[in-house]
Amino acid sequence: MDMSDYYSNGLSMVLAGKNSISDNYTNYIMNNKIKGGNHAFFLWSDSGSSYGKVVIKNNKMYAKSKSVAIFAKRYCKPSILGNKTYKW
């Protein structure tokens, strides 16, 4: 993955390095309108760290393709509910 991919997103949550404190928290992304390039929402974490719980709910997300509007990879298991995705 090219570093420029991070900057073409509407909203990016990237957790790098070793971090365990985030396991104790819940991150909520709710009721937003998110417009991005490659991805509307980009969630990523390195192997040494992980998000506790991520709830992505009731958002309107715009990206180049509906299939990649929400990108959540590696060491994170988000709860994705009730989002609408649109191609721009």
Domain ranges of the chain: 3-87
Q: Which of 66, 76, 69 is nearest to 34 (CA)?
A: 69
Query: pLDDT tens across 43-75, in order?
Result: 888 777 777 788 999 999 999 888 889 888 766
Neighbours of 70 (CB within 10 A): 21
- Strand-pairing partners, residue 42, are 12, 71
Whole-angstrom distance, CA of residue 77 vs CA of residue 63: 21
pTM of the complete model beyond 0.75: yes
Query: pLDDT tens across 40-50, in order?
Result: 998 888 777 77
